[in-house]
Amino acid sequence: MARPKITVVGAGNVGATCAHWAAARQLADVVLVDLVEGMPQGKALDLMQARPIFGFNVEVVGANDYAATKNSQIVIITAGIPRKPGMSREDLINTNKNIVAEVTRKVVEKSPRAFLIIVSNPLDAMCYVAYKVSGFSRKKVMGMAGILDTARYRCFIAMELNVAVEEVQAMVLGGHGDDMVPLVSNTTVSGIPLTELVSKRRINAMVERTRKGGGEIVALLKTGSAYYAPAAAAVQMAEAILCDQKRVVPVSAYLTGEYGLNDLFFGVPVILGAGGIEKIIKTKLSKEEQALLEKSARAVAATRDELKM
């Protein structure tokens, strides 16, 4: 029986690390696609040479076109450019809109039954582009952000309390940006409410650090941005679908009335399994969280409108 196939578009730090995590977990054969000649081939060969050391046996290939991506079950799209000095937000959105639209057309032509996991920024807007261009059902197009933002939040809580990360149950909803909403009211440590374990001041500090989580890493790296955790988040989504895990995780999903929102991609809890987004879960929010979610939605809707799609 043929192994499943994951295509990763974009062989930069995030894309190559997606290929690394997916291959090491033996989820599927991996195709790494990039426009730069030699780069995806070189990174794929390097990963293949790691197989005897770590004992994984999937195939990893690099390509500059989409022929090798045919019949992929999952396509992770990381392609796009980061915002450069002097570049307006509008320029960034339009450039990445064109890149994601072109990539989506090409992967869908080769893999019409694939699930699309979008990592390109601005994330919620790029999900909207992929959804509109692909013509896929909303169950099959999703964005990686909620899992990453939640991982950062859980990490900071575990560091603060000096407990195992597995004991921290938490979720971050909303758009992938400074307006994201960590749900403090639903956060527990092995079932104990976070509010019973740490002061409101420290909780507020962890929430703020979560919101600025990506920026903190950019400031430390000086050039470039985070890639280990973003790639791990995208691969967890791929694994949930390929292995039909029915995981309850926050992803950027297309809403048609849920949470009072329509026609936009937004971070909400879903059940992720073999059917893709099998169910969107409505969770109870405090009044403050509801207001913050609405503020985040306005920001996401404004970016969607800039796409003019």
Q: Give the number of other Cβ atoms within 10 Å of residue 142's Cβ.
A: 28
DSSP one-letter string for 57-100? ---EEEESSSGGGTT-SEEEE----PPPTT--HHHHHHHHHHHH
By annotation, the residues acting in catalysis are: 176
d(CA 3, CA 27): 8
d(CA 210, CA 51): 35
Give me the phi and psi of 89, to 5 degrees please. -60, -40
Q: Give the number of other Cβ atoms within 10 Å of residue 108's Cβ.
A: 19
List Cβ neighbours of 145 (8 Å cut-off, separation of 6 or more): 123, 124, 175, 176, 180, 233, 250, 251, 252, 267
Cα 239 to Cα 97, 107, 232, 245, 273: the distances in Å are: 27, 19, 10, 8, 9
d(CA 229, CA 19): 13
Cα 116 to Cα 11, 108, 119, 143: the distances in Å are: 17, 9, 10, 8
How many Cα atoms are found within 13 Å in the side-chain-facing hemisphere of 307? 28
Give me the phi and psi of 249, to 5 degrees please. -140, 155
d(CA 136, CA 123): 18
